[in-house]
Amino acid sequence: MKAYGAPQIQHFGEGNKAGYTLVQLIETSNITAHFVEETNDIYLDVFSCKKYEVAEVLRCINDHFRPAHMDHYILLRQARSDALPPLV
């Protein structure tokens, strides 16, 4: 995955909603994350139109964040050419 520009990082929210949100555009879509300060939870979404190795993403998360517990869900999407509107 190749970054497109610098990551955008903003801190906002109040109480148990406060935290940082990150958006990193990549050449094939984007990576977004929200870091919840109160619970130290991270919600990460890696979306790419190009195939990538999920194991590599999980290794990167483990290397950088060292989570005590992690759940992950994989959603494979397949675009159908017949579902797209005609180009004008």
Dihedral sign for Cα 68, 63, 61, 79, please: negative
Q: Which pLDDT belongs to residue 79?
A: 66
Residue 59 lies in a domain: yes
Mean pLDDT of the chain, nearest integer: 89
Q: Per residue in 30-74, pLDDT tens? A: 999 999 998 999 999 999 988 889 999 999 999 999 999 999 999
φ, ψ of residue 82 to 5 degrees: the values are -75, -10
Q: Which pLDDT belongs to residue 15?
A: 83
Q: In terms of C-beta distances under 8 Å and separation of at least 24 residues, what long-range contacts does 48-54 make, across chains too?
A: 48/1, 50/1, 52/1
Write out the residue range of the structural domain in which residue 25 sits: 8-83
Q: Per residue in 12-41, pLDDT tens? A: 988 888 999 999 999 999 999 999 998 999
Angle at the Cα of 33 from the Cα atoms of 8 and 72, rounded to 5 degrees: 155
Q: Which pLDDT belongs to residue 43?
A: 95
Q: How many domains does the chain have?
A: 1
β-bridge mates for residue 19, sequence order? 12, 36
Residue 75 lies in a domain: yes
Q: Distance between alpha carbon 53 and the CA centroid of its chain, in Å? A: 14
Residue 1 lies in a domain: no
Residues 6+ positions from 47 with CB-CB distance below 8 Å: 29, 30, 31, 32
